[in-house]
């Protein structure tokens, strides 16, 4: 039996790579159902000041095809507590590159009060969409 019923994770998932797959696989190992929020193009532009290479619609379609994912939803903002109010998940999965970030420190406190855990997974070293884009520019 898995420790959690309903899990949640989010991301841009641009230029899908093994790091993305690792988080989804590890998350699914710990929950019965996994919801994945995919950042909209507008949201990515707002906080990264650039649009993803792959459109939001296509990124959602890619995630829907991953066997570890049970439900794909658009992530319209970065308010994870609002997402919890809507989906009522038991746990949120995040890469450990966010651990100690002010946004997640505050979120840990809010989630603690409603009984939601945050599980941080090790970041997959050497792999990121940014690094892939840099390699593509050099080729």
pLDDT tens, 7-41? Answer: 999 999 998 988 899 999 999 999 999 999 999 99
Question: Which of 139 and 19 is assigned the larger pLDDT?
Answer: 19
Dump the DSSP string for 67-111: TT-SEEEEE-SS-HHHHHHHH--SEEEEEGGGTT-HHHHHHHHHH
Specify whether 48 is catalytic: yes
Domains in the chain (CATH in brackets) are 4-138 (3.40.50.620)
Condensed to tens digits (0 to 9), the pLDDT of residues 60-74 reads 999 999 999 999 999
Q: Which of 2, 46, 50, 110 is catalytic?
A: 50
**What pLDDT score was predicted for residue 56?**
97
pLDDT, mean of residues 120-139: 68
Whether the predicted pLDDT of 137 surpasses 80: no
Of 2, 5, 46, 48, the active-site residue reads 48
pLDDT digits (tens, 9 = 90+) for 76-127: 999 999 999 999 999 999 998 889 999 899 999 999 999 999 999 987 766 6
Burial class (CB in 10 A: 0-12, 13-18, 19+), 81: middle
50 tagged catalytic: yes
Length of the chain: 139
Distance CA(107)–CA(90), nearest Å, equals 14
Closest to 41 in 3D by CA, of 57, 30, 29: 57
pTM for the whole structure: 0.89
Sort residue 63 into left (φ over 0), alpha (ψ -120 to 50) or beta: alpha
């Amino acid at each position: 039996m898995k420790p959690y019923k309903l899990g949640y994770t989010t991301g841009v998932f641009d230029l899908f790579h093994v790091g993305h797959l690792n988080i989804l696989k590890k998350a699914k190992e710990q929950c019965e159902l996994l919801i994945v929020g995919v950042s909209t193009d507008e949201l990515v532009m707002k906080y990264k000041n650039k649009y993803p290479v792959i459109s939001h619609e296509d990124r959602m379609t890619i995630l829907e095809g991953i066997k570890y994912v049970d439900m794909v939803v658009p992530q319209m903002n970065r308010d994870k507590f609002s997402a919890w109010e809507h989906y009522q998940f038991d746990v949120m999965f995040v890469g450990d590159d966010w651990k100690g970030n002010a946004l997640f420190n505050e979120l840990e406190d809010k989630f603690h009060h409603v009984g939601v855990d945050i599980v941080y997974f090790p970041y997959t070293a050497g792999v990121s969409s940014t690094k892939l884009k840099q390699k593509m520019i050099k080729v």
